[in-house]
């Protein structure tokens, strides 16, 4: 199945850019991770707000708490689409790397998505 690409843009053919189902799921994961709760008017609890943690002080308790928050947000918003196996979070200076290991529920295919964000 073909989906609209995120972020929305016009493709080289002058039409709305499209993407594969697997890439669409990766786009959905990125939206959940980097949307701040309260940012969407009709879905005030959508997102995980990971961006605000890039500048938070690092501590031994911060990483597991962040992993749990991300896993909870993915379960809440994408639980019908994916089954999350593991979430790894690495914060170095102003760079955030989130690795999500998951299974696509539709075809039981295992995937790993790594998203890097620098602020």
Q: Model confidence over 14-58: pLDDT tens digits?
A: 999 898 888 899 999 999 998 888 888 999 989 887 777 666 666
User: What does the block give as tokens for 24?
Assistant: 């669409």
Region 3-118: CATH code = 3.10.450.40
* H helical segments located in the chain: 21-34, 62-78
For the chain, what are the domain ranges?
3-118
pLDDT band at 115; cut points 50, 70, 90: confident
Pick 75 or 65 by higher pLDDT.
75
Residue 56: predicted pLDDT: 64
Residue 67 burial by Cβ neighbours in a 10 Å radius (0-12, 13-18, 19+): middle
Those residues whose C-beta lies under 8 Å from the C-beta of residue 75, and which sit 6 or more positions away, are 84
């Amino acid at each position: 199945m073909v989906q609209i690409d995120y972020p929305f843009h016009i493709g080289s053919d002058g039409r709305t850019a499209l993407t594969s189902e697997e890439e669409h799921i990766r786009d959905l994961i990125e939206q959940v991770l980097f949307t701040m709760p309260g940012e969407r008017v009709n879905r005030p609890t959508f997102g995980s707000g990971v961006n605000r943690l890039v500048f938070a002080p690092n501590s031994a308790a911060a990483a597991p708490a962040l992993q749990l928050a991300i896993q909870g947000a993915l379960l809440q918003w994408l639980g019908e689409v994916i089954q999350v196996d593991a979430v790894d979070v690495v914060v170095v200076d102003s760079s955030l790397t989130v690795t999500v290991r998951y299974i696509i529920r539709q075809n039981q295919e295992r995937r790993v998505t790594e998203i890097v964000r620098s602020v």
